Amino acid sequence: MNVLVVGRGGREHSMVLELAKSEQVKNLYVAPGNGGMKEQATCVAIDEMDTDSLIHFAKEKAIDLTIVGPEAPLNEGIADRFQEANLKVFAPTKKAALLEGSKSFAKAFMKKYDIPTAAYETFNDAEQAKAYIEKQGAPIVIKADGLAAGKGVIVAETKAEALNAVDDMLVSKAFSEAGSTIVVEEFLSGREFSLMAFVHENHVYPMVPARDHKRAFDHDEGPNTGGMGSFAPVPDITEEHIAFSVGNILQKAADGLMAEGCPFTGILYGGLMMTDAGPKVIEFNTRFGDPETQVVLPLLKNDLVQVFLDVLDGKDPELVWEDAACLGVVLASAGYPGPYEKGAAIPSFSVLDDSYVVHAGTKDEGGTLVSDGGRVLLVGAKAATLKEAQEKAYKVIDTAGDNKDYFYRKDIGVNSI
């Protein structure tokens, strides 16, 4: 088979690493990919938003299956366009991807289909939003409706902070159109976890749960990032919590989208809060999570291509998960998520058994790899227990020595072991 992956981050590298193992895959392409993927795939210089060129490429190379990593092309309707061109694609349509692309759509959908989530109201008008916040008090959460690259959520500890967030979004248009509608929702307390599933229409096949660490610095301090590390499975999330989340959240979402006339195909990701009243949805994503994918896929024993094909064909895929744990630590450019330099040399690690390096933001400059993004690498390890996986991942990181161009969190997994 000829397989194409669309995207350029760590999540996509992780998929590429799995797909490259499949004996069914003859040619593996990634568009545009990154510097670290060259060993496993052919990187093609097409931007992930350039749907016309991607379709042209897929036809020219007789691509049998395309998998889309990031949310932005999904929201532009890349899956619809591939389907119209008779190309097999594992990704949700534009309408189904609204579950991630519009928070007001997602919230109204959850209300309609009785999916547990935080209480909320939607606003376009700043004065009305402020009156609601005055009534509800803090802590309270303000969310831009549209995609804002993970930055459109303000968890306000005080009323003043919440009122400011309303002004930023609705008056100063900090997120332009993505923030011209906002959702104001109840603050949920508890422990977060991510549950992803392969979904086709009303068939839902869950993966093992994962947890990511979104804050930049140790002890969950500092600004929110795309994710500074992750691990799977999650010891404090029981089989019962998972069964509840699959039945009452992911399955209801898949059924609801069928009922709405926009059946879902692809990866459905529940960003969930384990509250005293059980799991509740913080957000849905309509794609693989990053950096969760980098610690979940290494635990999958089956051929990932076969899983995608079976799910698309309406057959139950074989999903066997290793009885082990995976933990990954992100190495980010100094300064991230604020301004940072690109072009730094890539540290080299001595990789141990069952440890691995995933590239997220690297590029090949005349045969040398250099940094090319905020999150540059993820160093991951697999072991019998989470504690051992953690020790191994940090041991590998230590082999590169100190490097002022990068920083990483030293406490990935700490509060969960």
| Residues that bind ligand GLY in the complex, under the rule CB under 6 A | 212, 227, 285, 289-290, 292
Of 9-28, binders to ligand AMP (CB under 6 A) are: none
Which among ligand AMP, ligand GLY, none contacts residue 155 (Cβ within 5 to 8 A by kind)?
A: ligand AMP
CB 382 within 8 A of CB 355: yes
Which pair of tokens denotes residue 91?
């990704």
| Beta strand pairing call for 140-144 and 182-186 | antiparallel
What is the smallest separation between the CB atom of 292 and ligand GLY, expressed in angstroms?
Answer: 6
What is the smallest separation between the CB atom of 214 and ligand AMP, expressed in angstroms?
Answer: 5
Closer to ligand AMP by CB, 16 or 106: give it.
106
Which residues sit opposite 265 in a β-bridge?
Answer: 200
Which residues sit opposite 156 in a β-bridge?
Answer: 140
Which among ligand AMP, ligand GLY, none contacts residue 303 (Cβ within 5 to 8 A by kind)?
A: none
What is the smallest separation between the CB atom of 341 and ligand GLY, expressed in angstroms?
Answer: 24
Distance CA 57, CA 178 (A): 31
By CB under 6 A, is residue 35 in contact with ligand AMP?
A: no
Which among ligand GLY, ligand AMP, none contacts residue 285 (Cβ within 5 to 8 A by kind)?
A: ligand GLY
What is the smallest separation between the CB atom of 225 and ligand GLY, expressed in angstroms?
Answer: 10
Which among ligand AMP, ligand GLY, none contacts residue 227 (Cβ within 5 to 8 A by kind)?
A: ligand GLY
> Which helix (H) or strand (E) element contains residue 80?
helix 78-84
C-alpha separations of 77 from 72, 84, 89, 254, 413 in Å: 9, 11, 12, 19, 36
Closer to ligand GLY by CB, 35 or 69: give it.
69
What is the smallest separation between the CB atom of 196 and ligand GLY, expressed in angstroms?
Answer: 9
Which among ligand GLY, ligand AMP, none contacts residue 185 (Cβ within 5 to 8 A by kind)?
A: ligand AMP
CA angle 29, 298, 213 (to 5 degrees): 100
Which among ligand AMP, ligand GLY, none contacts residue 405 (Cβ within 5 to 8 A by kind)?
A: none
Closer to ligand GLY by CB, 185 or 292: give it.
292
What is the smallest separation between the CB atom of 185 and ligand AMP, expressed in angstroms?
Answer: 5
Of 277-306, binders to ligand AMP (CB under 6 A) are: 282-283
What is the smallest separation between the CB atom of 227 and ligand GLY, expressed in angstroms?
Answer: 4
By CB under 6 A, is residue 141 in contact with ligand AMP?
A: yes
Nearest to 133 by CA among 99, 108, 156, 110: 156
**330 phi and psi, to 5 degrees?**
-85, 135
Q: Would you tell me the crossing angle of helices 103-112 and 251-259 to the nearest 10 degrees?
A: 100
CA angle 283, 141, 183 (to 5 degrees): 65
DSSP 297: G
| Beta strand pairing call for 120-123 and 182-186 | antiparallel
* Buried/exposed 292-306: b ≥16 CB within 10 Å, e otherwise: bbbbbbbbbeebbbe
> Which helix (H) or strand (E) element contains residue 397?
helix 386-398
What is the smallest separation between the CB atom of 141 and ligand AMP, expressed in angstroms?
Answer: 4
For the window 236-275, what string marks contact with ligand AMP as x by the rule CB under 6 A?
-----------------------------------x----
Binding residues for ligand AMP (CB under 6 A) = 118, 141, 150, 153, 155, 185-188, 192, 214, 271, 282-283
